[in-house]
Amino acid sequence: MLGHRALTLQDYTTILKRRWWIIAIPAVIFPIIGFGITFLVQPEYISQTLVLVEQQKVPESYVKAVVTEDLSGRLASMKEQILSRSRLQPIIERFNLFANSKLSMDDRIDLTRKNIGITPIQSEIARTNGLPGFFISFKANDARTAQLVCGEIQSLFVTENLSDRAASAAGTTDFLKGQLADAKAKLDEQDAKLRKFQQTYVGKLPGAEASNINMLTTLNTQLDAATQAIARLEQNKSYVESMASLQQQNQASQLGEHGGSTPEARQIELQQLLAQEADLTSRYTDDYPDVVSVRRKISELRDKIAKTPAPVVEKTAAASTPKPADSIAALQLRTQLRAMDQEIAMKKRDQASIQAQLHLYQERVASSPEVEEEYKSITRDNQTAQTFYDDLLNKIQTATMAANLEKRQQGEQFRVMDEPNLPESPSSPKRPVFIMGGLAMGLFLGLLIVGTLEYLDTAVRTERDIWAFTKLPTLGVIAFNGEPEPAVSRRRWLRRKSPDLTAGTKPLMNAGG
């Protein structure tokens, strides 16, 4: 009565007892068929190898690795390179893979890629989730071929890792060398600019302010001392000049008393004027007022001497001639004046030199802020270039050591832990799987057939079946003790659907109505 009313566990048990053979037959036949199919499917063998990742033998605190990319990313990149057509086609041609299927080379390459397995091993200890290694497997129809091809792929991974790391180290070194050359050129340019700036603004650079201020103080003291010395010399000169003037006046008065207008007196006066002219011209130019005044006096005196007639020489003339001692005193005063003038001139030159130096240092102190600002800009660029150059120099040394490490194969390497194995039994087809699959399919088919038959079966066997058809309660049950009626009469009864007639191969049940 499946499909006509809800079934209970007792109904299922009754159905199973009645139709168990329908489920048992396919459950036995289909596993046998599955087992037989395993002999028709072409076997497949899987060869597998284990590759471990060994860290570099020199601690990274001594030599820092150039290749810092995560191993997962590098493994994926190497996998794409190794699974490329240029790498797989020589292997396919060498081992004649999938040649019997009459496929194109592209299809054979696709099949080869599908049969290659790369399985990373996730570390259970390292907290960094590193990859301590990975499995490489290859599936083929022949055990020996699977082993050989797996070995080739393993060799490609090991070789590719070495070449990639060496190329990366060499590329890093070459790149850093180019950058170092550019940095050195820029540093030389900054050094030349700094050197030129220091030569241009010598004495005005930062740090020279204190020495400049000290020099200003010293120069001011020297200038004051020179000014005071010049003032003293000027006073002394004035005193000596007054003494010389007084000496000349005394001599003139003496000459007047003894006939100062005599030719001898005029000659003596002319000699004095000539000596004074020689002294003045040695210190001053021809346009100097004192020089012009002395020369005018000399010219006038010479005119007087030329116009005066020669007098009669008397005996008393000799007595009226001035004493030589007076002329010597005048000459001493003139010599002293000349020395004073020279010393004053030297002091004035010293004063001018001090003033020039004082002006220079004052200009240095005044321009120090601007020079310091520009100097900071130049030195900042120079320090930046120097720091960049030193950093590149350290990096290129590290990269060179890392490259040497890779050349000596002391860096990170792929070590083959387990060589590719020779499969002893095929991995596919798996007979237990086929048998269990056949059993499951047989059970499913048997249950499907039983369910269909029960759904189509309209026989009335229990009181619940009568209730499902008539919705009337059962008043009594009469046991069946005869032969079942023909199936034709039962079908006729079903067509009539009479509530008071029941027929079938099982006990009849009466319903009250």
Assess contact for 416 and 49: CB atoms under 8 A. Answer: yes
Residue 14: DSSP 8-state: H
Determine the 3-state secondary structure of 141 from DSSP: coil
Q: What's the whole-number mean pLDDT along residues 222-233? A: 85
Mean pLDDT for all residues in the chain: 76
Q: In this structure, what DSSP letter does residue 286 have?
A: T
Contact (Cβ atoms closer than 8 angstroms) between residue 337 and residue 248: no
User: pLDDT for 429-455, tens place per residue?
Assistant: 777 888 898 899 989 998 898 888 887
Amino acid at position 438, single letter: G
DSSP alpha helix (H) spans, 122-262: 143-200, 209-257
The residues near 367 (Cβ < 8 Å, ≥ 6 apart) are 204
45-59+69-168+410-418 has which fold? Alpha-Beta Plaits (3.30.70)
Domain with CATH 3.30.70.1130 in the chain: 45-59+69-168+410-418
How confident is the model at residue 131, as a pLDDT?
67
Per-residue pLDDT band for 295 (boundaries 50, 70, 90) equals: confident
For the stretch 10-48, pLDDT in tens is 878 888 888 888 888 988 998 898 888 877 777 888 999
Identify whether the C-beta of residue 477 lies closer than 8 Å to the C-beta of residue 510: yes
**pLDDT band at 262, cuts 50/70/90?**
low
Q: What is the pLDDT of residues 407-425, one digit of tens each?
A: 666 666 778 888 888 888 7
